[in-house]
Amino acid sequence: MSIARHEPIPLPPQGGLETVHESSDTIFNWNYEVGRESLLNLYEKGKRMQWNASTDIDWSIDVDPERFPDFLPPEAVNALLNPPQKLEVKELIRVRIHQLGWMLSQFLHGEQGALLATAQIVNTVPWVEAKFYAASQVADEARHVEVYRRYLTEKLPFAFPVNPHLHTLLAQIIREPRWDMTYLGMQIMVEGLALAAFGLMNFMNPQEPLIQQITGYVIRDEARHVAFGVLSLEEVYRQMTAAELREREEFVIEAAHLMRDRLLMEEVWERLGYDVDVWVKWSLETPFMQGFRQLLFAKIVPNLKRLGLLTPRVREAFAKIGVLQFEDMPDSTLDERVTVPPALLALFPDLAATAPPL
């Protein structure tokens, strides 16, 4: 299937350019001492695993966004997912294309946020080896923006502006003057969710080789980015006072709620002309969407536990959104993979028998 290039990425209400004011200090390190071996090893790994979005991705692959995966044919969607209204095949295809465009659009916007936040970390983190790695991550994030912009503008008929909840979180992270909070917001929360979301994209689209190529490369990068956050913050948070840690708890809880709410896809239901309240309620309650949201916290929860931030207050908040099941899984420094929740795999038993960890 061939799709003509569509209009540019739709703009949010604030327009095409937005200025976010921040007041962080830029830190020079004149002694250049390095001693954090884990960060240096991660930096070396990042250098070895660089890739070129123009030449390593086969952009000649034809994309058919109307094609459903074999394990979920459109005829089975109504029975399996029980949407608020029975949808004919033609309408299911319309829903799929909009959902795919929405998900990839939020990938694009989140990657721009990571590009700007990580560039900020280069300036604000005091350690030379962390500056090295953050600088290499900036190149990674630019490449991610490049590939998702190209996929959306060349391969899909629909794109979406940045989700309001994601926009709020990204702006908060960029405005934050404390470098560890930039790390916490971007490397642990946003990038942790993104790592799982990219894995889910592969899981749900085995029939689309181009997106498999792209997300395969991006997942390798994101796993390093999340590990960078864990390795950098664990020694910092061991030295913080109870009052300082409480501020980080509050930020984690607020960020988790914003990320959960961005996954309800109000913009999709609105653009499709559906009753937004009815479809948001379905998104909150249907087992598939619950599993979808749970998977996206699969790396965040064990990483926060390693950092000492899975405190009683955070545990209570996470219990309410149903994601504590991941607390005993390996953190991102021990295991780069993303495990699909059993509740989600149970919906697709044929795929579950053959699907490897993401």
Domain locations along the chain: 37-49+65-352
- Number of Cβ atoms within 10 Å of the Cβ of 209: 13
Q: Which pLDDT value is given to residue 323?
A: 86
How far is residue 64's CA from residue 86's CA, in Å, rounded to a whole number? 24
Helix and strand numbers, DSSP H then E, in the chain: 16, 0
Give the CA-trace dihedral at 167, 191, 180, 319, to 10 degrees: 90
For the stretch 33-66, pLDDT in tens is 998 999 999 999 999 999 999 999 999 999 999 8
> In 3D, which of 157, 154, 115 has the Cα closest to residue 138?
115
Give the pLDDT band (50/70/90) at residue 168. Answer: very high
CB contact at 8 A, 72 and 207: no
What are the CA-CA distances from residue 177 to residues 56, 122, 180, 182, 257 (Å)? 37, 13, 9, 8, 22
Q: Residue 302: which residues within 8 A CB-CB, separation 6 or more?
A: 326, 327, 328, 329, 330, 331, 332
Q: Which pLDDT value is given to residue 351?
A: 47
Q: pLDDT exceeding 70 applies to what percent of the chain?
A: 91
Q: Which pLDDT value is given to residue 285?
A: 85
Q: Which pLDDT value is given to residue 7?
A: 60
Q: Which pLDDT value is given to residue 96?
A: 92
Mean pLDDT across 194-213: 87
Give the pLDDT band (50/70/90) at residue 3. Answer: very low
Q: Which pLDDT value is given to residue 63?
A: 93
Q: Which pLDDT value is given to residue 70?
A: 80
pLDDT-wise least confident of 160-174, 268-282, 338-352: 338-352
Total count of residues recorded for the chain: 358
* Residue listed under structure tokens 């490449």: 143
Give the pLDDT band (50/70/90) at residue 117. Answer: very high
Mean pLDDT across 311-325: 90
Q: Which pLDDT value is given to residue 339?
A: 60
Helix (H, G, I), strand (E, B) or coil at 321: coil
Higher pLDDT, 182 or 339: 182
Give the pLDDT band (50/70/90) at residue 352. Answer: very low
How far is residue 47's CA from residue 49's CA, in Å, rounded to a whole number? 6
- Dihedral of alpha carbons 13, 147, 65, 70, sign: negative
Q: Residue 116: which residues within 8 A CB-CB, separation 6 or more?
A: 174
Q: What average pLDDT is seen over the chain?
A: 88
Fold that domain 37-49+65-352 belongs to in CATH: Ribonucleotide Reductase, subunit A (1.10.620)
What are the CA-CA distances from residue 167 to residues 55, 110, 170, 321 (Å)? 31, 9, 5, 21
Task: Report DSSP state, residue 184.
Answer: I
* pLDDT surpassing 60 at residue 189: yes
> In 3D, which of 164, 157, 189 has the Cα closest to residue 176?
189
End-to-end CA distance of the chain: 28
How far is residue 181's CA from residue 120's CA, in Å, rounded to a whole number? 12
Give the pLDDT band (50/70/90) at residue 156. Answer: very high
The first and second tokens of residue 94, run together, are 């319309």
* pLDDT surpassing 80 at residue 187: yes
Q: Which pLDDT value is given to residue 166?
A: 93
CB contact at 8 A, 29 and 126: yes
- Number of Cβ atoms within 10 Å of the Cβ of 276: 16
Give the pLDDT band (50/70/90) at residue 344. Answer: low
pLDDT-wise least confident of 52-56, 128-132, 249-253, 336-340: 336-340
